[in-house]
Amino acid sequence: MPAPKKPASAEAASELAGTDTTDRRNRNAKLAQLQDFREDASGQALTTNTGTRIADNKNSLKAGERGPSLLEDFIMREKITHFDHERIPERVVHARGAGAHGYFQAYEAATDLTKADFLNHPDKQTPVFVRFSTVQGPRGSADTVRDVRGFAVKFYTDEGNFDLVGNNMPVFFIQDAIKFPDFVHAVKPEAHNEMPTGGSAHDTFWDFVSLQPESAHMVLWTMSDRAIPVTYRAMQGFGVHTFRLINAEGRSVFVKFHWKPVSGVFSLVWDEAQKLAGKDPDFHRRQLWNDIENGDYPEWELGVQVIAEEDEDKFDFDLLDPTKLVPEELVPVRKLGKMVLNRNPDNFFAETEQAAFHVGHIVPGIDFSNDPLMQGRLFSYTDTQLSRLGGPNFNEIPINRPVCPFHNNQRDAMHRQTINKGRAPYEPNSIDSGWPKETPPAASGGGFESYPQAISGVKLRKRAESFGDHFSQATLFWNSMSAVEKEHIIGAYSFELGKVERTFIRERQVNEILANIDLTLAKRVAENLGLPAPKAPTVTPRKTQLKQSPALSQLNLLAGNIKSRKVAVLIADGVRDADVKQLLDALKKQGASAKLLAPSSAAVKTAEGKALTPDDSMLGLPSIAFDAVFVPGGAQAAKTFGTDGAALHYLLEAYKHLKAIALCGEAGDLASQLYLEADEGLLSGAKAAQVIPAFVAAIAQHRVWAREDKAKRVPA
Q: Which residues are catalytic?
A: 94, 167
Contact 73, 470 (CB under 8 A): no
Strands 160-167 and 149-157: antiparallel
Contact 340, 218 (CB under 8 A): no
HEC-encoded secondary structure of 562-615 = CCCCEEEEECCCCCCHHHHHHHHHHHHHHCCEEEEEECCCCCEECCCCCEECCC
Residue 208's contacts (CB-CB under 8 Å, 6 or more residues apart) are: 182, 183, 186, 187, 215
Rounded-to-integer distance, Cα 380 and Cα 451, Å: 22
Sign of CA dihedral 259, 262, 263, 265: positive
Burial pattern 85-104, b for ≥16 Cβ within 10 A else e, equals eebeeebbbbbbbbbbbbbb
Residue 354 has phi, psi (to 5 degrees) of -90, -5
HEC-encoded secondary structure of 548-567 = CCHHHCHHHCECCCCCCCEE
| Closest C-alpha to 282, from 271, 290, 292 | 290
Half-sphere exposure of residue 147: CA atoms within 13 angstroms, side-chain side: 31
Contact 569, 597 (CB under 8 A): yes
Rounded-to-integer distance, Cα 492 and Cα 514, Å: 13
Q: At what angle do helices 203-211 and 180-187 cross, to 10 degrees?
A: 150
Tell me the sheet residues that pair with 117: none
Strands 611-612 and 237-238: unpaired
The shares of helix, strand and coil residues in the chain, as percent rounded to the nearest 5, are: 35, 15, 50
What totals of helices (H) and strands (E) does the chain contain, helices first?
20, 20
Complete DSSP assignment for 400-437: T--SS----S---STT------SS--SSS-STTTT-S-
Contact 234, 151 (CB under 8 A): no
Complete DSSP assignment for 444-466: SS-------------EE----GG
Q: At what angle do helices 21-35 and 8-16 cross, to 10 degrees?
A: 100
Burial of 122 per CB tally in 10 Å (0-12, 13-18, 19+): middle
Contact 506, 500 (CB under 8 A): yes
Q: Which amino acid is at 709?
A: D
Rounded-to-integer distance, Cα 610 and Cα 580, Å: 12
Rounded-to-integer distance, Cα 170 and Cα 183, Å: 17
Residue 386's contacts (CB-CB under 8 Å, 6 or more residues apart) are: 84, 392, 394
Polymer length of the chain: 716
